[in-house]
Structure 1
Amino acid sequence: MDARSHDVAVDLLAWYDTHARKLPWRSPPGGRAPDPYRVWLSEVMLQQTTVAAVKAYFAEFTRRWPTVHDLANAPEGEVMAAWAGLGYYARARNLLACALQVSARGGAFPETEDGLRALPGLGAYTAAAVAAIAFGQRAVVVDANVERVVSRLFAIEDPLPGSRPSIRRHADTITPDERAGDFAQAMMDLGATICTTRNPRCLLCPLSTVCVARQTGEPERFPVKAAKKARPQRQGRAFWIEREGAVWLVRRPGKGMLGGMRALPDDGWSARQDGSGKAPLEGAWEPAGVVSHGFTHFGLDLHVATYRGNETVSPGADGGEWWRLDALADAGLPTLFAKAVRLALATTGVDA
């Protein structure tokens, strides 16, 4: 017997009823549907991010903006600052755009996948997850955990990412008409706690008897992954300009890397090219060191230079502002520039 001839949902939902993770955006198994706003917010936050990292951000967002109307009325700068550290900052901009649209609808999210897909920032996965979890719609929800579980259940030999259409078709065959939201979350929990990337706990798995990958004796081999392409390593510079207990921060353009976030001035590095190396003003720049940071498609070595001369830049130019050193924690800097700031402060003996 294997997953093709077995009602996977029955066994998995029985396991979930006992072993479901308790998460702040969830309702208990079999309970009433959770607030769509909280489901949507958590799913957007969880993209490319771990549950452990998201919990504190989710708590803070829902404390400050408990409804979609509250979020829609929030200043963009405050939302971007609250998002700092979660990465993939286009998500935060889409979050606001989506909140504005839903608020204009009276605060009601669409209940169907197609309706949800029409909202800013909701791709196939997020729309399916919200439709299933918040509205009980039958939807095929496939995230990285589900990809791993399905790849192993059916021992799919084609490598990722090319195997994704096949994974989705197989996931469709085991998705039930009832309790689709619980089933989606059960698949996620199984992948996160039992069917893990390394050392899967097959003896505890409710689907072990029908898992084809386990029958091969090599469950960790799945999902098969294509050879990784080498990521380019870019070089850039960031500039610390200090005056009278404050540092010059700029607002990055709304589109592009770390769009809309406060940051140190830099030399225009990007995913496609190294920075120019050119400083924003003439003077005696001193090297403070290098911070390395990984983005999805490239790595970056950011060389930090400090300047504490008499020349100044004019507040207001290029969207910049003087920011007091003792309030830098409130600037909402993205992780890359937070690391650069700590490096620059270390040269002065000041704690970040």
Structure 2
Amino acid sequence: MLASNFKINYSYLAGKLHSPLLPPHHLPAASAAMKRCRQSKSVANETVDVADIEDIGFSGKEIKEIRASLLQWYDENRRDLPWRRISSSGNEGGVEQRERRAYAVWVSEVMLQQTKVQTVIGYFNRWMEKWPTIHHLAQATIEEVNEMWAGLGYYRRARFLLEGAQMIVESGGEFPNTASSLQMVKGIGNYTAGAIASIAFEEAVPVVDGNVVRVVTRLKAISANPKDSKTVKDIWELARKLVDPLRPGDFNQAVMELGATICSPTAPSCSKCPISLQCQALSLSMNQESIKVTDYPTKVPKAKQRHDFSAVSVVEIVEEGSDSKYLLVKRPEEGLLAGLWEFPSVLLEGEAGLTSRRKAIDRFLKQSFGLDMRKSCKLVSREEVGVYVHIFSHIRLKMYIELLTLRKTGLSPTNSNTSGANCIQEKQEETATIKWKYVDEKALSTLGLTSGVRKAYTMIQKFKQDSSVPATARKRRDKKSSTKAPSSIR
């Protein structure tokens, strides 16, 4: 194994370069295996010290300069965000006030995962108005939480918030106030625990998200794979050394703010950066044309996206003198889109023709609900509505959407689960693992629905509107109308 202080003379390679340092991908094979390179103090000898990431550190002087510059910049430039108004009073106030700050930080940080700040602001305000404390949230139902979350995506986050709140309240109601104790709460990991502990309780612990990774890897020109578990651990340790013990919450927010507004992935504003003098990636880029600040962190190829296909049947029950009702099925409590409601759908083995899709849907409806359209109900119409492609982080789902309209005959409703039609035969033993209900159009906006349901319903409404307009008028209207699809229900 090469020693961490292994030195190589590159005088013969320097040529016209302004600096003897070469980017990692230009080093000879022996040193290219190392994680990064640093310029030796002995510039006259034109040598390079090659070090593993665990050998990288911040000097005491660097730490002081970074803390002072970053906190001053943050004080002058931080964005006015609703959760910061709640959490900006430090350790002032009693236990109740500190726990309110912790709750606000928790909700905001969970919402901000995979979601832009401007999108989160409205959701956060509505959430805090409905559930101002953890005790209020603990009394909510998953349906209420999913309804409030509708449109944010990644619904598992909402479920963990609810379950975490219930866990804390059931354990006595005292909000955990250290990073280690916070991680005992379901759904709270290293990042969220660090954010709550440092911002709400002033514990000197780091937080590491994508913004922090970007800032740290550029500060030290780290070219190691940022997704590698060992690299992640080392970056956490570097972030830990930087945290200001007097203002840990503000410092952590300052680093994240810097990454979000100045040290961006593709177009960093280095001239505005308060810690540009300490940034080795910037220094390298100024001395070597082949190196760019945006080379850090190292780009990692994304995993190949999986392609899935499904047949979605929007089952509409019509009854004379009443509003139409729709059949909804609840997804399993674990896995993708856990606990959300959707229209009946069947995952297909691949691209499938119309006949195959309808057979799959018919089989599902009969097995799950005893619905046999040839025997037990009156079929009004069955129309192909269109195709919608929904992109998840790792799945490309192509949904074939149909509108299946059935007419209620005979039986009166007895409860919310059987009020749609006698087409559906309630078989408790056979359908014990499937939760379903009939809802009217108004109720669709009050449930936690998948984005696919909202899109399918939008397509159904547009399809109905188009079907009710004469062809000539529809052509004239389409020429004038925008190509933008109608907004989904919320």
TM-score by length of 2: 0.67
- Alpha-carbon offset, residue 344 of structure 1: 2.0
- Alpha-carbon offset, residue 3 of structure 1: 5.7
After superposing on structure 2, the runs of 4+ consecutive aligned residues of structure 1 that deviate more than 3 Å are 1-5, 27-31, 272-277, 281-285, 309-312, 314-318
Cα 1:193–1:28 shift into 2, 3 Å: farther
Q: Which amino acid aligns with 2:311?
A: R
Q: Give the aligned length.
A: 350
What is the SS of the residue equivalent to 2:449? coil
Single out whichever of 14-23 and 115-124 deviates more from structure 2. 14-23
Q: Which amino acid aligns with 1:216?
A: L
**2:345 aligns with one of 231, 253, 266:** 266
Q: Which amino acid aligns with 1:23?
A: L
What residue in structure 1 maps to residue 388 of structure 2? 291
RMSD: 2.5
Q: How does 1:9-28 map to 2 (within 5 A)?
A: 9-27=67-85
Single out whichever of 105-114 and 252-261 deviates more from structure 2. 105-114
Residues 246, 325 of structure 1: 8 Å contact kept: yes
Q: How does 1:111-260 map to 2 (within 5 A)?
A: 111-162=177-228, 163-217=231-285, 218-244=292-318, 245-260=324-339
2: CA distance, partners of 1:252 / 1:232: 20
Q: Percent identity?
A: 35
Please give the per-residue CA displacement for 1:106-133, whole angstroms capped at 9, x wherever unaligned: 4321111110000010011111111111
What residue in structure 1 maps to residue 108 of structure 2? 42
What residue in structure 2 maps to residue 313 of structure 1? 424
Cα 1:287–1:58 shift into 2, 3 Å: same
2: CA distance, partners of 1:28 / 1:66: 11
Residues 16, 29 of structure 1: 8 Å contact kept: no
Q: Which amino acid aligns with 2:209?
A: D
- Structure with larger Rg: 2
1:51 aligns with 2:79: no
Single out whichever of 204-213 and 318-327 deviates more from structure 2. 318-327
2: CA distance, partners of 1:254 / 1:328: 20
Residues 30, 179 of structure 1: 8 Å contact kept: no
Q: Which structure 2 residue ranges, 5 or more long, are not aligned?
A: 1-40, 42-56, 92-97, 286-291, 319-323, 367-371, 374-380, 409-422, 467-485
Residues 248, 264 of structure 1: 8 Å contact kept: yes
Single out whichever of 294-303 and 130-139 deviates more from structure 2. 294-303
Cα 1:37–1:30 shift into 2, 3 Å: closer
Q: Which amino acid aligns with 1:74?
A: A
- Alpha-carbon offset, residue 310 of structure 1: 3.7
What is the SS of the residue equivalent to 2:394? coil
Q: Which amino acid aligns with 1:182?
A: D
1: CA distance, partners of 2:459 / 2:143: 25
Q: Which amino acid aligns with 2:89?
A: G
1:346 aligns with 2:457: no
1:334 aligns with 2:450: yes
1:89 aligns with 2:155: yes
Structure showing greater relative contact order (alpha-carbon pairs closer than 8 Å, 6 or more residues apart): 1
Q: Which amino acid aligns with 1:232?
A: R
- Alpha-carbon offset, residue 268 of structure 1: 3.9
Q: Which amino acid aligns with 1:179?
A: R
2: CA distance, partners of 1:43 / 1:107: 21
Q: Which structure 1 residue ranges, 5 or more long, are not aligned?
A: none
Q: Which amino acid aligns with 1:92?
A: A
Cα 1:119–1:18 shift into 2, 3 Å: same
Please give the per-residue CA displacement for 1:177-199, whole angstroms capped at 9, x wherever unaligned: 22110001001111111111121
Please give the per-residue CA displacement for 1:22-56, whole angstroms capped at 9, x wherever unaligned: 11111489732461111111111112222112111
TM-score by length of 1: 0.92
